[in-house]
Structure 1
Amino acid sequence: MAGNPWQSYYDELVVGEEYTSIARTITETDLVAYANATGCWFPLHTDREFAERTRFGEPVVQGTFLLGLAEGLLFTNRPSGIRANAGIDDVSFERPVFVGDTVRFRVRVLDTEDVDEETGIVTVEIRGLKEDGDAFLEYENRLLMVTREAADE
């Protein structure tokens, strides 16, 4: 594969190939900053006393934060053929993520579908992995992408 789909073009992707992002450790600041940005102060994420009384025993990182983090770690401000997010399907949170966990994301190209000579839809599977290698998140993402030649025009 030409590399990370977030840094490739439609005509460079090969079904079945994978890329794994760098790792990042989740901090308490991440939870608070995300709650401030979204206005979502759900107590499981932001109230330590409440969270300690749940089955998790401590605050859980917001799932929607993790979806955004996947995109952030996979997309690193480099040229790309991605022109739009065409959909996210089958989101599954398989286990909780806590402050102090180190996570990374693996993307695998599942399918490519031509739209026209210059664009196509790429379907990828994204899996969030903790430091022990166990998955905590899985979903499919469809991306509208252009070919390298179309991007250069």
Structure 2
Amino acid sequence: MLVIDRYLEDYATGEVRRTLGRTITETDVVLHAGQTGDFFPHHMDENWCVNEAGLAGRIAHGTLVIAIAVGMTAGDVNPQAMSYGYDRIRFVKPVFLGDTITVEAEITTIADHPRRSELGRVDEQVRVTNQHGEVVLSLVHLYVVNKRGEGG
């Protein structure tokens, strides 16, 4: 893991980060079900998915896909920034067990913090795609970032 100090002034709109792929496994889904208590048949019952719901198979929890996707973009630690939350989360297509996802994060907004002059905000548009290049998840990741300050 790399530690990089990046202040608000170091970001540029349009900057893009891309990850390598990550395959969603049976273990991922079972562990997430146990952690969250979400044992809905969409995630746990292959027969129900195919024969009752008309799905191609079991699907990963949306919250699992968010967690993995955000984690995939967190390879660098920036002690000058902190996650502020997520907006406009959309589960565009299901992620099936065995699908491989990749993540692209593009900086779309850089702004001053509305109440604290020493801080700013950076918004990243995050797009998660499957192995077919189809968008499966879209969200905006919000960060609060320190400004460099006087003489920095």
TM-score (norm 1): 0.84
- Contact 1:44–1:51, Cα closer than 8 Å, also in 2: yes
Moved more, 37-46 or 7-16: 7-16
Q: CA RMSD in A?
A: 2.0
Q: Where does 1:1-150 land on structure 2 (aligned, <5 Å)?
A: 8-53=6-51, 54-76=53-75, 78-85=77-84, 87-115=85-113, 116-147=116-147, 149=148
Structure 1 residues 19 and 80: alpha-carbon distance in aligned structure 2, compared to 1, 3 A threshold: farther
Runs (4 or more) in structure 1 with deviation over 3 Å come to 6-9
Output the amino acid matched with 1:108: E
Gaps of 5+ in 2: none
Partners of 2:81 and 2:127 in 1: how far apart? 19
Post-superposition shift, 1:7?
Answer: 7.7
Output the amino acid matched with 1:78: V
Partners of 1:43 and 1:105 in 2: how far apart? 27
- Contact 2:83–2:141, Cα closer than 8 Å, also in 1: no
Gaps of 5+ in 1: 1-5
Structure number with the higher helix fraction is 1
TM-score (norm 2): 0.84
- Contact 1:9–1:80, Cα closer than 8 Å, also in 2: no
Flag the structure with larger Rg. Answer: 2
Post-superposition shift, 1:20?
Answer: 0.7
1:112-147 Cα deviation digits (max 9, x unpaired): 111245321111100001122221111112111224
Q: Residue 145 of structure 1: SS of its match in structure 2?
A: strand
Identity of aligned residues (%): 27
Partners of 1:117 and 1:13 in 2: how far apart? 17
